């Protein structure tokens, strides 16, 4: 079985490169502490919907795009152990200065998911 933390967040288009740098650093931290996979994807074919959509989920503003990301673990217990170590890692603290984040963390959606179908 595996477990996934999933994220959807708005990123200003002009800050995509800054976000990419942050994501590359974060990927290294999570993988160093045992995450099995770490993926960050930027919207390519994502349109506003009539009732729901990725843009609506994060209250996307003009000049922003959507990032969809996930981190894979062996299990929820493994995720909890990895995240406990990640939260104590000084590299994360230096990356997470909320005043300098290249996205609006208040509009980020995230949660943990048990695998239903997959390889």
**pLDDT at 94 > cutoff 80:** no
**pLDDT at 80 > cutoff 80:** yes
Per the structure, the complete domain to which residue 9 belongs is given by 3-114
**Over the stretch 10-59, which tens digit does the pLDDT of each residue have?**
999 999 999 999 999 999 999 999 999 999 999 999 998 989 999 999 99
When mean pLDDT is compared across 55-59, 73-77, 80-84, 91-95, the lowest value belongs to 91-95
Per-residue pLDDT at 43: 97
22 belongs to a structural domain: yes
CA distance 41 to 100: 21
CATH of the domain at 90: 3.30.70.100
Domain count, the chain: 1
119 belongs to a structural domain: no
């Amino acid at each position: 079985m595996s477990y996934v933390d999933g994220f959807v967040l708005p990123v200003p288009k002009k800050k995509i490169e800054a976000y990419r740098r942050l994501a590359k650093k974060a990927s290294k931290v999570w993988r160093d502490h045992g995450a099995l996979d770490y993926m960050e994807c930027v919207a390519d074919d994502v349109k506003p919907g009539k009732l729901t959509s990725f843009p609506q989920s994060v209250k996307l503003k003009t000049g922003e795009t959507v990032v969809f990301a996930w981190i894979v673990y062996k299990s929820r217990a493994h995720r909890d152990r990895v995240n406990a170590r990640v939260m104590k890692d000084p590299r994360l603290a230096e990356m997470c200065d909320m005043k300098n984040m290249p996205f609006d963390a208040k509009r980020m959606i995230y949660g943990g998911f048990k695998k239903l179908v997959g390889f």
